[in-house]
A and B are shown apart, each in its own frame.
Chain A
Amino acid sequence: MTVLLDVAEVSKLYPIAGGPGAWLRLKRRLSGGVEKLPKVHAVDDVSFVIAKGETVGLVGESGCGKSTLVRALTRLIDVSDGSVRLGERQLALKPARVFARDRDRRRIQMVFQDAGESINPRFTAFAAIADPLRRLRKLRGKALKERVTTVAAQCGLPLALLSRFPHQLSGGQRARVGIARAIAVQPDLLVLDEPTAALDVSVQVVILQLLDRLKNELGMSYLFVSHDLSVVRLLCDRVLVMYLGKIVESGAAHDVFDHPLHPYTQALVAAVPRLHEDGPARLRLSGEPRSPIDPDPNVCRFYGRCPHGADICKTTMPALRTLGLRQVACHFAEQFLPSAKAAP
């Protein structure tokens, strides 16, 4: 297995200015004390690798830090701490502004959530696909035109539509433009942020099958961000489950969905509506997630919503441990192993 992307101990903290206590902090600063802003721990000590040709799913609820993590490793924002290695190269040290002109910029590309919103409305489909080729590949004239038409054909976009503006295209066609734009510069890693969330099921199927075909044809790796677990299960080899800035579980996709070990994953899997009612027993989460502002490092992030919460969860943050082929951050993961369940 060749490692393509190696993310190690990445954190992203956002200081927040206002909020309760702002006046107190101002006073402290004026009196010469050390002023410490409270911070939102959007991504907290996250490590994982993506192998060449692998599809990794990233799931978690809104606000758990999925998008921040994705932006950090596509180098659209700077990380607070940690390393992001692409092949041999350390990318975390380069400021995002500088990386935008880097020769490796083309190697990580992104497909955004709603293609209707993420394509410049004053660009035609052709201009949208050509833009990264002009900037990153310095293609011009005939070579540019050739490349755009090749990519459009690869994505099943009729050439007649290339002169249209986004509002003249259907949802599925816009999604194709978004994908064509990202793969035009031949990236090694494609990050997909809920590419089918805005689409109807019938169109979603076509786009998912297109993505699967492109991956096999072009040998890219995917990081597929979604909260639709049934889609992740179909497309991904491996899955990472995130909760409040931390990875709480990872493993082979079918393994994680068939035998979730972390209570949060269990609730997530149980909440997915199924056509044929043979899913696990219902497990409902009560309450709201804990605050991500300066969380107590000794309390499990899931404590309070977790149906199994015990005293140890209040005093010791569970580390991400390896259990067989899986990784899970829960003190009680062993009791959910399939072998433990089978025992009387």
Chain B
Amino acid sequence: MTPVLAVEGLSVEFRTRSGIVRALDQVSFDVGKGETLALVGESGSGKSVTAYAVMGILDPAARVTAGRAMLDGLDLLAAKPKDLAEVRGRKIAMIFQNPRTALNPIRPVGRQIADVLIRHGNVARRAAPAHAVEMLRAVGIPDPARRAKAYPFEMSGGMCQRVMIAIALAAKPRLLIADEPTTGLDVTTQAVIMDLIADLAKEMGMATIFITHDLALAGQRSARIVVMHAGQVVETAPTAELFANARHPYTAELIAATPDAAASLAELAAIPGALPDLRRTDLPPCRYSERCPRRLAACAQPLPQPAPGIAHTVACWNPRSDRAVRAPKVSAA
């Protein structure tokens, strides 16, 4: 199966007044057709920077120093702005964290959907408004004809997020990047929005990259999980496998710190230490090693490169359980 998007060895740095921040270091992952992949990590782990790099919307202070992001034979990181503009919206779309700030506040939501349809969706200008209403209906907004004329401030957070989804999916992209799509929403609304994304993705055979800090939510909603820490991918595994057999010490600590796993407060384990300062020039090859309880002398060497074709990979010299890494298995979404 050829992946829809393959990111290989992506490194990004930011030039700031106080030094160069090495935000991403050799990030690699891929996502297959119709698959939901979760990027999980704490704030500062580089989840969003990864998404922005793929979309070509990094801050001007950022520089991609290495790596490729292949989509249909096109390297998104080296593509000309003109080519990238054709890909964005049409082949890849993104849902941003805060729908209220991501939507245009002075344009009715129906018009904003119509804009995308006209630009990327091969829809005639005259037919676009009616199509936009259909999109609003598809994302479950009641009374879509009236709501199409509403401005973002007239709608609730959940409704705005539905509009964002409608905009993202207007041109039927092959890949959807959802960056914390439900963070500001209530749990009941979160469940409904996540159902909606999953249903539409299934209907359209779309691949989804789902970025979240909520390990429990990722576990429920994705087929595979990529765990990130301080700009590095520490572990990649099919979801069930990751929870049953977390091999990287950081993944295990993250699972132990998630409130649902514990029966009492005392059982919750804090993760010792803090993220390393990414401006340092002497960052160790494994950026977790300075917090790591399982550190060995070997950890000063460059990280082991995962062999291709293995489903469960871990970037660690001394991973947790001795269980042999399993043969790749086909993950059911």
Do A282 and B191 have beta carbons less than 8 Å apart? yes
B195 at the interface (CB under 8 A from A): yes
A301 at the interface (CB under 8 A from B): no
Check A202–B220 contact: CB distance below 8 A: no
Q: Decide if A209 touches B265 in the complex (CB within 8 Å).
A: yes
What are 12 A-to-B residue pairs whose CB atoms are below 8 Å?
Answer: A171-B43, A202-B253, A202-B254, A202-B270, A205-B259, A205-B268, A209-B265, A227-B187, A228-B187, A231-B259, A271-B191, A286-B192
Give the interface size bracket for A toward B.
35 or more
In the complex, chain A residues whose CB is within 8 Å of the CB of B142: 287-288
Decide if B214 touches A273 in the complex (CB within 8 Å): yes
Please give the distance in Å from A36's CB to the nearest CB on chain B: 25
Residue A30, interface by CB 8 Å:
no
Within 8 A of B (CB), among A262-306: 267-268, 270-277, 282, 284-288
A274 to B218 CA separation, bound complex (whole angstroms):
9
Contact of A271 with B190 at beta-carbon distance under 8 Å, contacts A209-B268, A276-B243, A287-B142 already known: yes
Which B residues touch A202, using CB under 8 A? 42, 253-254, 257, 270-271
Expressed in whole angstroms, the Cα–Cα distance for A268 and B192 within the complex equals 12
Measured in the bound complex, the distance between the Cα atoms of B265 and A206 in whole Å is 10
With contacts A200-B43, A202-B253, A202-B257 taken as known, whether A234 is within 8 angstroms of B264 at the C-beta atoms is yes
Contact A62 B157 (CB under 8 A): yes
The yes or no answer to B219 lying at the interface (CB within 8 A) is: yes
Residues in A with CB closer than 8 Å to B270 are: 202-203, 205-206, 209
| In the complex, per-residue mask of A196-212: 1 if CB is within 8 Å of any chain B CB, else 0 | 00001111111011001
A268→B262 CA distance, assembly (Å): 19
Measured CB to CB, the nearest residue on chain A to B189 is A61
Contact A285 B187 (CB under 8 A): no
Asked if A205 meets B187 with Cβ closer than 8 Å, knowing A62-B157, A273-B214, the reply is no
A227-B254 in contact (CB<8A): no
B274 within 8 A of A: yes
Collect the chain A residues with CB atoms within 8 Å of residue B159's CB: 288
Could you say which residues of chain B place their CB within 8 Å of the CB of A270? 191
Beyond A204-B257, A273-B217, 11 additional contacts (C-beta under 8 Å) are A61-B188, A201-B215, A202-B254, A202-B270, A227-B186, A229-B187, A275-B215, A287-B142, A288-B142, A288-B156, A288-B159
